[in-house]
Structure 1
Amino acid sequence: MSSSAPAALVMLYMSAKEGNKECAESSIKHFLKVSKTDNILSKSLHSQCAPIVLEFCKLLRKFAPEDNLYSMCRSSLASLLESIGHSRVKYEEIKGLVVMQDIVPFVKELALKLSTDLTGSMLNVGPLESNVRDFTVFLLPLRKAILDQVGYMCPIPVPFAKTGYNNIPVFLEEIEYLHTLLSNMLILMDKCLSKVEDRLRNSRDNTLSCSAWSQYLIILKELYNIAQLYQGAEERFWSILRIRKSAMCALIVRYAKRSDDNLWLLEHMDVTNFESRRLLVMMMFPDVREDYEELHEMLIDRSQLLAESFEYVVRAERESLHGGLFMEFKNEEATGPGVLREWFFLVCQAIFNPQNALFVACPNDRRRFYPNPASKVDPLHLEYFTFAGRVIALALMHRVQVGVVLDRVFFLQLSGRDISLEDIRDADPRLYTSCKQILEMNTEDIDSDALGLTFVREVDELGSRKVVELCSNGKSIVVNSKNREEYVNLLIRHRFVTSISEQISHFAQGFADILDNTMLKKLFFQSLELEDLDLMLFGSESAISIEDWKAHTDYNGYKENDPQILWFWKVVERMSPEQRRTLLFFWTSVKHLPVEGFCGLASRLYIYKTTESIDRLPSSHTCFYRLCFPVYPSLKVMRDRFRIITQEHVGCSFGTW
Structure 2
Amino acid sequence: MFVVESPGFAAALKCLRRKLQRDSGFPSKRKLDEILSINPEQDKFSFSHRMRSLRKKCFKSTSGLHDDLSGVLQFFVRVSSRTIVIRALPEDTVKLVQDQLNAKTRIPQSEQRLVFECRLLCPDFTVAESGIKNNSSIQLIGRLKSTPLPGAWMVANELVSATRSYFPRKLVSTDCSYIEYLVNIFLEMIPNDDVHSAWRYLDVFVFSGASAALVSLYASSKVHSSAKVHAENAIKIFLRLDSELWPSHLFRQSLTVVLEFYKLLSAAVSRSDRLLLSCRRAISSLLESTATLEYVHCNDKRWHLRVLEEILPYVRHSSGVLALNLSQWVSSNFSHDNFICASVLIEDFSSFLSPLRAGIGRPCLSLPCTCEQAGIKLSENGFRWLHIIFVELLDTMGRCLGQVEEKMLRDDKWAGSTILLTLLTTINDLTEIFPQGENVFHALLAKHSRAVNALIRKAKHSHGLWWIRKHRDVTNFESRRHLALLMFPDELQDFEEMHEMLIDRSSILTESFEYIYNADALSLQGGLFVEFKNEEATGPGVLREWFCLLCREIFNDANVLFRSCPLDRRRFYPNPASDVEPLYLRYFMFCGRLIALALMHGIQIGIVLDRTFYLQLAGRPISLDDVQDADPFLHSSCKKILEMDAELLDSDVLGLTFVREIERLGVRRTVELCYGGKDKSVNSGNRQRYVDLMIRHCFVTSTSAQVKSFLTGFSDILCDPLSHKLFFGSLDPEDLDRMLGGDDGSVSVKDWKKHTDYNGYKASDNQICWFWKVVECMSKDQRRSLLFFWTSVKFLPLEGFSGLGSKLSICRSSKSVDHLPVSQTCFYQLSLPPYPSHATMKKRLLFVTQAHVNSGFGEP
TM over 0.5: yes
Deviation at 1:468, TM superposition (A): 0.9
Task: Please give the alpha-carbon distance, in whole angstroms, between the structure 2 residues aligned to 1:429 and 1:518.
Answer: 35
Secondary structure of the structure 1 residue equivalent to 2:572 = strand
Q: Within the alignment, does 1:23 sit opposite 2:231 as a pair?
A: no
8 A contact 1:281–1:527 mirrored in 2: yes
Give the counterpart of 1:412 among 605, 612, 615.
615
Deviation at 1:579, TM superposition (A): 0.9
Task: Please give the alpha-carbon distance, in whole angstroms, between the structure 2 residues aligned to 1:588 and 1:415.
Answer: 33
Query: Aligned residue for 2:650?
Result: 447
Change in Cα spacing, 1:179 to 1:72, as seen in structure 2 (3 Å) is farther
Greater shift, 100-109 or 625-634, is seen at 100-109
Give the counterpart of 2:365 among 157, 163, 178.
157
Q: Within the alignment, does 1:248 sit opposite 2:456 as a pair?
A: no
Deviation at 1:448, TM superposition (A): 1.6
Change in Cα spacing, 1:492 to 1:54, as seen in structure 2 (3 Å) is closer
Q: Within the alignment, does 1:109 sit opposite 2:317 as a pair?
A: yes
Give the counterpart of 2:744 among 541, 555, 560.
541
Query: Aligned residue for 1:176?
Result: 384
Query: What amino acid is aligned across from residue 77 of structure 1 in structure 2?
Result: C
Query: What amino acid is aligned across from residue 82 of structure 1 in structure 2?
Result: S
Deviation at 1:228, TM superposition (A): 2.6
Task: Please give the alpha-carbon distance, in whole angstroms, between the structure 1 residues aligned to 2:373 and 2:595.
Answer: 54
Greater shift, 226-235 or 445-454, is seen at 226-235
Task: Please give the alpha-carbon distance, in whole angstroms, between the structure 2 residues aligned to 1:92 and 1:70.
Answer: 35
Query: What amino acid is aligned across from residue 456 of structure 2 in structure 1?
Result: I
Secondary structure of the structure 2 residue equivalent to 1:142 = helix
Query: Aligned residue for 1:387?
Result: 590
Deviations 1:186-221 (A, max 9, x none): 233233323345x38xx9x68766544531111111
8 A contact 1:301–1:308 mirrored in 2: yes
8 A contact 1:458–1:468 mirrored in 2: yes
Change in Cα spacing, 1:53 to 1:42, as seen in structure 2 (3 Å) is closer
User: What pairs up with 1:476-491 in 2 under 5 angstroms?
Assistant: 476-491=679-694
8 A contact 2:217–2:228 mirrored in 1: no
Secondary structure of the structure 2 residue equivalent to 1:649 = coil
Greater shift, 81-90 or 224-233, is seen at 81-90
Change in Cα spacing, 1:630 to 1:83, as seen in structure 2 (3 Å) is same
8 A contact 1:36–1:79 mirrored in 2: no
Change in Cα spacing, 1:341 to 1:171, as seen in structure 2 (3 Å) is same
Query: Aligned residue for 1:624?
Result: 827
Q: Within the alignment, does 1:599 sit opposite 2:599 as a pair?
A: no
Query: Aligned residue for 1:502?
Result: 705
8 A contact 1:621–1:627 mirrored in 2: yes
Deviations 1:130-179 (A, max 9, x none): 111110111244334434xxxxxx33311244496998666442233113
User: What pairs up with 1:294-333 in 2 under 5 angstroms?
Assistant: 294-333=497-536
8 A contact 1:121–1:213 mirrored in 2: no
8 A contact 2:259–2:283 mirrored in 1: no
Change in Cα spacing, 1:477 to 1:103, as seen in structure 2 (3 Å) is same
8 A contact 1:620–1:628 mirrored in 2: yes
Task: Please give the alpha-carbon distance, in whole angstroms, between the structure 2 residues aligned to 1:11 and 1:207.
Answer: 44
Query: Aligned residue for 1:17?
Result: none
Query: Aligned residue for 1:138?
Result: 352
Deviations 1:75-119 (A, max 9, x none): 443122235568899879998899334423321221011111232
Change in Cα spacing, 1:282 to 1:444, as seen in structure 2 (3 Å) is same
**Which is greater in Rg?**
2
Task: Please give the alpha-carbon distance, in whole angstroms, between the structure 1 residues aligned to 2:396 and 2:241.
Answer: 41
Secondary structure of the structure 2 residue equivalent to 1:215 = helix
8 A contact 2:305–2:376 mirrored in 1: no
Task: Please give the alpha-carbon distance, in whole angstroms, between the structure 2 residues aligned to 1:439 and 1:269.
Answer: 32
Query: Aligned residue for 2:186?
Result: none
Deviation at 1:553, TM superposition (A): 1.6
Change in Cα spacing, 1:356 to 1:172, as seen in structure 2 (3 Å) is same
Task: Please give the alpha-carbon distance, in whole angstroms, between the structure 1 residues aligned to 2:488 and 2:375.
Answer: 48
User: What pairs up with 1:108-127 in 2 under 5 angstroms?
Assistant: 108-123=316-331, 124-125=333-334, 126=339
Query: What amino acid is aligned across from residue 136 of structure 1 in structure 2?
Result: S
Secondary structure of the structure 2 residue equivalent to 1:356 = coil
Change in Cα spacing, 1:13 to 1:583, as seen in structure 2 (3 Å) is closer
Query: Aligned residue for 2:714?
Result: 511
8 A contact 2:821–2:833 mirrored in 1: yes
Task: Please give the alpha-carbon distance, in whole angstroms, between the structure 2 residues aligned to 1:404 and 1:166.
Answer: 51
User: What pairs up with 1:567-586 in 2 under 5 angstroms?
Assistant: 567-586=770-789
Task: Please give the alpha-carbon distance, in whole angstroms, between the structure 2 residues aligned to 1:484 and 1:586.
Answer: 54
Query: Aligned residue for 1:128?
Result: 342
Task: Please give the alpha-carbon distance, in whole angstroms, between the structure 2 residues aligned to 1:543 and 1:79.
Answer: 55
Query: Aligned residue for 2:603?
Result: 400
User: What pairs up with 1:72-471 in 2 under 5 angstroms?
Assistant: 75-84=277-286, 99-123=307-331, 124-125=333-334, 126=339, 128-147=342-361, 154-162=362-370, 171-196=379-404, 199=406, 211-254=415-458, 256-471=459-674
Q: Unaligned stretches of 5+ in structure 1?
A: 15-19, 148-153
Normalising by structure 1, report the TM-score. Answer: 0.89
Secondary structure of the structure 1 residue equivalent to 2:461 = coil
Query: What amino acid is aligned across from residue 762 of structure 2 in structure 1?
Result: K
Change in Cα spacing, 1:60 to 1:369, as seen in structure 2 (3 Å) is closer
Query: What amino acid is aligned across from residue 81 of structure 1 in structure 2?
Result: I
Change in Cα spacing, 1:525 to 1:144, as seen in structure 2 (3 Å) is closer
Change in Cα spacing, 1:493 to 1:651, as seen in structure 2 (3 Å) is same
Task: Please give the alpha-carbon distance, in whole angstroms, between the structure 1 residues aligned to 2:218 and 2:274.
Answer: 14
Change in Cα spacing, 1:102 to 1:73, as seen in structure 2 (3 Å) is farther
Deviation at 1:229, TM superposition (A): 3.1
Task: Please give the alpha-carbon distance, in whole angstroms, between the structure 2 residues aligned to 1:526 and 1:25.
Answer: 55
Task: Please give the alpha-carbon distance, in whole angstroms, between the structure 2 residues aligned to 1:514 and 1:578.
Answer: 33
Task: Please give the alpha-carbon distance, in whole angstroms, between the structure 2 residues aligned to 1:165 and 1:386.
Answer: 45
Greater shift, 217-226 or 304-313, is seen at 217-226
Query: Aligned residue for 1:613?
Result: 816
Task: Please give the alpha-carbon distance, in whole angstroms, between the structure 2 residues aligned to 1:393 and 1:60.
Answer: 48
Percent identity of paired positions between Structure 1 and Structure 2: 49
Normalising by structure 2, report the TM-score. Answer: 0.69
Greater shift, 358-367 or 134-143, is seen at 134-143
Deviation at 1:304, TM superposition (A): 0.7
Query: What amino acid is aligned across from residue 526 of structure 1 in structure 2?
Result: G
Task: Please give the alpha-carbon distance, in whole angstroms, between the structure 2 residues aligned to 1:495 and 1:259.
Answer: 40
Deviation at 1:70, TM superposition (A): 10
Secondary structure of the structure 2 residue equivalent to 1:214 = helix
8 A contact 1:299–1:330 mirrored in 2: yes
Greater shift, 45-54 or 574-583, is seen at 45-54
Change in Cα spacing, 1:305 to 1:563, as seen in structure 2 (3 Å) is same
Greater shift, 607-616 or 97-106, is seen at 97-106
Secondary structure of the structure 2 residue equivalent to 1:360 = strand
Task: Please give the alpha-carbon distance, in whole angstroms, between the structure 2 residues aligned to 1:35 and 1:477.
Answer: 75
Greater shift, 529-538 or 237-246, is seen at 237-246
Task: Please give the alpha-carbon distance, in whole angstroms, between the structure 1 residues aligned to 2:583 and 2:272.
Answer: 66
8 A contact 1:56–1:73 mirrored in 2: no
How much is the aligned-residue C-alpha RMSD, in angstroms? 3.2
Would you say how many aligned residue pairs link Structure 1 and Structure 2? 637
Query: What amino acid is aligned across from residue 314 of structure 1 in structure 2?
Result: Y
8 A contact 1:51–1:98 mirrored in 2: no
Deviations 1:48-82 (A, max 9, x none): 99766644554567xx57x7379876544312223
By relative contact order (CA 8 Å, sep 6+), the higher-ranking structure is 1
Deviations 1:272-313 (A, max 9, x none): 110011111101001011211211111111111111111110
Query: What amino acid is aligned across from residue 558 of structure 1 in structure 2?
Result: Y
Deviation at 1:227, TM superposition (A): 2.0
Task: Please give the alpha-carbon distance, in whole angstroms, between the structure 2 residues aligned to 1:551 and 1:564.
Answer: 17
Query: Aligned residue for 1:565?
Result: 768
